[in-house]
Homo-oligomer: A and B are copies of this chain.
Amino acid sequence: MEQLKQAIMEKGVISGVDVLKVDSFLNHQIDPQLMNEIGLAFAERFADCGVTKVMTIETSGIAPAIFTGLHLGVPLLFAKKTKSITLDRRTYETKVLSFTKRKEYRIVVEQAYLTEADTVLLIDDFLAEGQALRGLIEIIEQAGATLCGAGIVIEKGFQHGGDRLREKGYRIESLAIIESMANHRIVFRD
CB distance from A184 to the nearest CB of B (A): 19
Number of interface residues of A (CB under 8 A): 30
CB distance from A23 to the nearest CB of B (A): 7
Among A27-35, A156-164, A165-173, the stretch in contact with B: A27-35
- Is the Cβ of A35 less than 8 Å from the Cβ of B110? no
Chain B residues whose CB sits within 8 angstroms of the CB of A33 once the complex forms:
70, 73
Knowing A23-B110, A24-B113, A113-B24 touch, does A32 contact B76 (C-beta < 8 A)?
yes
- Across the interface, A36 reaches (CB within 8 A) one of B29, B70, B112, namely B70
Chain B residues whose CB sits within 8 angstroms of the CB of A30 once the complex forms:
62, 66, 69, 75-78
By DSSP majority rule, is chain A's interface helix, strand, loop, or mixed? mixed
Indicate if A59 sits at the interface (CB-CB under 8 A). Answer: yes
Indicate if A67 sits at the interface (CB-CB under 8 A). Answer: yes
Please measure, in the bound complex, the distance between the C-alpha atom of A24 and the C-alpha atom of B76, giving whole angstroms. 10
Indicate if A104 sits at the interface (CB-CB under 8 A). Answer: no
Please measure, in the bound complex, the distance between the C-alpha atom of A77 and the C-alpha atom of B110, giving whole angstroms. 28
Please measure, in the bound complex, the distance between the C-alpha atom of A58 and the C-alpha atom of B63, giving whole angstroms. 11
Please measure, in the bound complex, the distance between the C-alpha atom of A80 and the C-alpha atom of B32, giving whole angstroms. 18
- Is the Cβ of A113 less than 8 Å from the Cβ of B28? yes
A1-53 interface (Cβ within 8 A of B): 23-25, 28-33, 35-36
Chain B residues whose CB sits within 8 angstroms of the CB of A66 once the complex forms:
30, 32, 35, 62-63, 66-67
